[in-house]
């Protein structure tokens, strides 16, 4: 079964609402003939404008986080119900920056994944190891643990609709990139882990992205690897020319 490449931009805390709408407006004409699925992950305040600008195009919009509860005394948080009503397609869950700076845990990632599906959102679940963990030779064990906890309790159909983003923490925003072989090795470990727990059908269907200084120069080779189904792109997704090249890596 062919898995469709998914090129998703994670804008992090960049662009105002006006800048985001302008960017999506310009982007959609450039990528209208893309074979890849195109996603922009924008800040919360940019969601309405980005969604409006993306209407009638193949550009889909992701939120960068969500809470697992529908409502309540969670100052500053956003629920799946709120995102769903806006027309959000995807939500990034468990990014290493959320884990490092805001106390995200494997358990809260799992709660958020379940909440995403409850409200019709597709989760992009981030996993990855630190430089110390890689140097100590525990990458496989660490990433497998993250995957197992994140997906705990999901149905086969939900697993097939999940995107997993492998992000080696040591390669995010550092300019360092895992070699194609390193990225492929861990993405294969993730796919094998999904297969062990949920079966071969789930393993064949789940899409696994690589994220870690993906740019217009290395995207084509990375996305050509057997177990890499696209990228979660940071800085390069903020630049129209660069992101267009990443999305259209096969043209």
Catalytic residues: 95, 167
Task: Write down the residue that tokens 């959000």 correspond to.
Answer: 88
Report phi then psi at 93, rounded to 5. Answer: -130, 135
Q: Is the Cβ–Cβ distance between 207 and 6 less than 8 Å?
A: yes
Strand segments, DSSP code E, in the chain are 6-10, 37-41, 59-63, 90-93, 122-127, 163-166, 207-210, 230-233
DSSP sequence for 109-136:
HHHHHHHHHHTTPEEEEEE---HHHHHT
Q: Which residues, 6 or more positions from 144, have their beta carbon under 8 angstroms from its beta carbon?
A: 189, 190, 193
- Give the separation between CA 38 and CA 28, rounded to whole angstroms: 9
Q: Which residues pair with 92 in a beta bridge?
A: 124
Give, in degrees to the nearest 5, the angle at Cα 3 between 60 and 128. 75
Q: Is the Cβ–Cβ distance between 68 and 130 less than 8 Å?
A: no
């Amino acid at each position: 079964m062919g898995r469709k490449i998914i090129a998703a931009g994670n804008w992090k805390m960049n662009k105002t609402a006006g800048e985001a709408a302008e960017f999506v407006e310009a982007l959609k004409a450039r990528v209208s003939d893309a074979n890849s699925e195109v996603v922009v992950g924008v800040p919360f305040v940019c969601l309405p404008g980005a969604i409006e600008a993306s209407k009638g195009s193949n550009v889909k919009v992701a939120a960068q986080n969500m809470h697992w509860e529908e409502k309540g005394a969670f100052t500053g948080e956003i629920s799946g119900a709120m995102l769903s009503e806006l027309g959000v397609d995807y939500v990034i869950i468990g990014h290493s920056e959320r884990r490092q700076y805001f106390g995200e845990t494997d358990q809260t990632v799992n709660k958020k994944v379940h909440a995403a599906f409850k409200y019709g959102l597709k989760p992009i679940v981030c996993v990855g190891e630190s430089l110390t963990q890689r140097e100590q030779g525990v990458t496989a064990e660490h990433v497998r643990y993250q995957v197992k906890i994140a997906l705990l309790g999901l149905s086969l159909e939900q697993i097939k609709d999940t995107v997993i983003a492998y992000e080696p923490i040591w390669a995010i925003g550092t300019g360092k990139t895992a070699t194609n072989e390193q990225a492929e090795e861990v993405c294969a470990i993730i796919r094998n882990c999904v297969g062990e727990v949920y079966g071969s059908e789930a393993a064949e269907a789940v899409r696994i992205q690589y994220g870690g200084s993906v740019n217009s120069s290395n995207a084509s080779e990375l996305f050509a690897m057997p177990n890499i189904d696209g990228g979660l792109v940071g800085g390069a997704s903020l630049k129209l020319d660069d992101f267009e090249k990443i999305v259209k890596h096969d043209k």
